[in-house]
Amino acid sequence: MQDWRWMTAADLGRAIAAGTIDPIALTNVYLDAIDAHQYRDRIYARVTHARAMAEATAAAARAKSGMRRGPLDGVPVSWKDLFDTAGIGTEAGTALMAGRVPDRDAAVLETATAGGLVCLGKTHMSEIAFSGLGLNPITATPPCIHDPDAVPGGSSSGAAASVAFGLAAAGIGSDTGGSVRIPSAWNDLVGLKTTHGRLSLDGTVPLCMTFDTVGPLCRSVEDANLLLAVLEGGKAADLGGSTLNGVRLMVLDTIVPDDVRDAPRAGFQSAVARLQDAGATIEHRYFAQLFDAFNVAGNLYAADSYGWWRDLVEAHPEKMFPQILERVRGGQTVSGPDYVAGWNTLRDIRKQYAAETAQFDAVIMPTAPILPPNAERLLTDDAYYKAENLLALRNTRVANLLDVAAITLPTGVPSCGIMFNGRHGGEAALLRLCAAAERALA
């Protein structure tokens, strides 16, 4: 039974369909493991025992009657603590929302539950989702799978840790500037950032509503594909027969290669070589307009986040982690005309990027230029925190700014991922490509 905790979500679903795994027994294995785990309270904000068992019992009945709702019916997953859960606290990692209990599920959770996913509980996260590090002295900082004293990446920090430590078959998180992909990369998982607007944000505590997206953190590309389908109540893409033969990959040489440290660089270079050996054509290109996108990004993120959080923040600023307070207050000084002008600039850049990359199947880069930093040093060295936080999210932010689907895959070097940026709305094609890339990198 302990081996169940390390199986992919897809394999668990197949075993449920075959009758060799009972959803009730499976859910009990996860709940028992969570409750006995030394990092339980650093990973899970709340464990939803009663809900999980009720959903597992219903899934078991459907399996016995031949009425399963999909390939993941009965598979237990965790949810980041910004997805509303009816009757269960949803606090977004901040004391500003302590005691907040929604009266209904977020739309994406409703859809996933209807598709048969079992909710194990709510995972810790960076405060209000405004950091790529995963450090949260207000609620909890989950551990990194390779070093419990290092941060796990954020803001979907507990989501990644729940999977990496075998305490969920997958985690559902959000990604505004890299919050699915950074913790996935630092914990050797697969992370999918969806196109903005593809998955509903209704009932999701926002950070930046113009950039927020929902996505899974999981063990395989197949899992990401099936989870995307169940999250939107749709049909999974056909990954069969995918190959890298004839695939054209563009290595982005603007901004993202700068200051990449030794291990992430080695992981990326090794991965590129294996992709090339498997049949992919690799070309290096420069996209100068990316500098302009980065120049307007600060105002857009800050104004959007402060616009939503302002009243809560200014009512009790003393309740916040100072680093997060400073970041969200950056929106105070952004003018309306500057915000509109910034969006006009970014929309133009998105069109130029789509045209210049149209000949490629994906754009690739190191997921993060750095390794997971030490949590204690981040708490005691302000300059170090700021520098590492900006670097952590720099490469992932490209996909959010350009509004394209993106996937990070493990390279085999611990905590080092390779990122594939696809097209706007191009999740199916990107998942097919990454299914082939995953085999080449295994």
And the tokens for 370? Answer: 């750095």
Same domain assignment for residues 261 and 224? no
Cβ(251)–Cβ(286) below 8 Å: no
Q: What's the Cα-to-Cα distance from 356 to each of 96, 179, 250, rounded to whole Å?
A: 44, 27, 11
In a domain, 15, yes or no: yes
pLDDT of residue 2: 62
Domain boundary among 232, 263, 280: 232
In a domain, 296, yes or no: no
| Backbone phi and psi for residue 285, each to the nearest 5 degrees, phi listed first | -140, 155
The CATH number given to whatever domain includes residue 168 is: 3.90.1300.10
Same domain assignment for residues 93 and 179? yes
Instruction: Give DSSP secondary structure letters for 136-199.
Output: -SSS--PPBTTBTTB---SSSHHHHHHHHTTS-S-EEEEESSSTTHHHHHHTT-EEEEPPTTSS
Give the 3-state secondary structure of residue 415.
coil
Same domain assignment for residues 62 and 193? yes
Cβ(175)–Cβ(207) below 8 Å: no
List CB contacts of 367: < 8 A, sequence separation 6 or more: 181, 182, 184, 185, 264, 395, 396, 408, 416, 417, 418, 419
In a domain, 314, yes or no: no
Give the 3-state secondary structure of residue 37.
coil
Cβ(191)–Cβ(215) below 8 Å: yes
Is the model's pLDDT at 193 over the cut of 90? yes
Cβ(216)–Cβ(224) below 8 Å: yes
In whole angstroms, what is the distance from residue 397 CA to residue 154 CA?
Answer: 13
And the tokens for 289? Answer: 């307009």
Same domain assignment for residues 252 and 221? no
Of the candidates 361, 421, 433, which has an alpha carbon nearest to the alpha carbon of residue 396? Answer: 421
Same domain assignment for residues 77 and 129? yes
Of the candidates 306, 373, 375, which has an alpha carbon nearest to the alpha carbon of residue 334? Answer: 306
Count the domains in the chain: 2
Same domain assignment for residues 153 and 19? yes
Burial degree of 318 (CB within 10 A; 0-12, 13-18, 19+): exposed
Of the candidates 32, 152, 116, 129, which has an alpha carbon nearest to the alpha carbon of residue 80? Answer: 129
Domain boundary among 165, 198, 232: 232
pLDDT of residue 151: 98
Is the model's pLDDT at 86 over the cut of 90? yes
Same domain assignment for residues 193 and 270? no
pLDDT of residue 112: 98
The rounded percent of the chain whose pLDDT value lies above 90 is: 100
* Model confidence band, residue 60 (pLDDT cutoffs 50, 70, 90): very high
* Model confidence band, residue 169 (pLDDT cutoffs 50, 70, 90): very high
pLDDT digits (tens, 9 = 90+) for 214-240: 999 999 999 999 999 999 999 999 999
pLDDT digits (tens, 9 = 90+) for 119-153: 999 999 999 999 999 999 999 999 999 999 999 99
Same domain assignment for residues 215 and 279? no
Mean pLDDT (whole number) for 278-287: 98
The rounded percent of the chain whose pLDDT value lies above 70 is: 100
| Backbone phi and psi for residue 339, each to the nearest 5 degrees, phi listed first | -65, -45
pLDDT of residue 354: 98
In a domain, 257, yes or no: yes
Same domain assignment for residues 220 and 342? no
Same domain assignment for residues 119 and 172? yes
In a domain, 149, yes or no: yes
Is the model's pLDDT at 415 over the cut of 80? yes
155 is known as an active-site residue? yes
In whole angstroms, what is the distance from residue 407 CA to residue 224 CA?
Answer: 9
64 is known as an active-site residue? no
Same domain assignment for residues 81 and 109? yes
Q: What's the Cα-to-Cα distance from 420 to each of 181, 196, 338, rounded to whole Å?
A: 11, 16, 31
pLDDT of residue 37: 98
pLDDT of residue 218: 99
Catalytic residue among 78, 126, 155, 415: 155
80 is known as an active-site residue? yes
In a domain, 312, yes or no: no
| Identity at 134, one-letter amino acid code | G
Catalytic residue among 78, 156, 179, 220: 179
Q: How many angstroms from the chain centroid is the CA of residue 283?
A: 27
Is the model's pLDDT at 1 over the cut of 90? no
And the tokens for 172? Answer: 């559902």
pLDDT of residue 40: 98
pLDDT of residue 146: 98
Mean model confidence pLDDT for the chain: 98
pLDDT of residue 284: 98
pLDDT of residue 221: 99
In a domain, 207, yes or no: yes
Domain that holds residue 222: 2-232
Catalytic residue among 78, 80, 162, 184: 80
3-state secondary structure 139-156: CCCCCECCECCECCCCCC
Same domain assignment for residues 72 and 201? yes
In a domain, 327, yes or no: no
Is the model's pLDDT at 386 over the cut of 80? yes
Q: What is the pTM assigned to this prediction?
A: 0.98
Instruction: Give DSSP secondary structure letters for 274-341.
Output: HHHHTT-EEEEE--TTHHHHHHHHHHHHHHHHHHHHHHHHHH-GGGS-HHHHHHHHGGGG--HHHHHH
pLDDT of residue 20: 98
In whole angstroms, what is the distance from residue 50 CA to residue 281 CA?
Answer: 51
